Copies of this chain bind each other. A is one copy, B any other.
Amino acid sequence: MQNNVRALRVAAHLSQVELASAAGITRQTLSLIEKGAYNPSLKLCLNICYRLGQTLDQVFWVAPGDQ
């Protein structure tokens, strides 16, 4: 689990389709990001944060040792 996208999305009662389209990406791409299989771009991360009402640190921060 490299990020908190899934947990925060579920907590916000959003489907993958809803969050993905709000962020301007496809459901498949979001699925892989949630899984940690993709290394998303900054713009994409920001768009996800905006829709979730969270910041980059809350959604995507990984402490130096934890990678």
Residues of A within 8 A of B (CB): 39-43, 45-46, 50, 55-57, 60-62, 64, 67
Contacts and interface: CB of A to CB of B under 8 A. Distances in A.
5 contacts: A39-B42, A46-B62, A50-B64, A56-B57, A56-B61
Contact of A41 (B42, B62, B64, B67): B42
Contact of A67 (B46, B56, B61): B46
Given A56-B56, A64-B50, A42 B40 contact: yes
A61 B62 CA distance: 15
B61 A42 contact: no
Contacts of A45: 42, 45
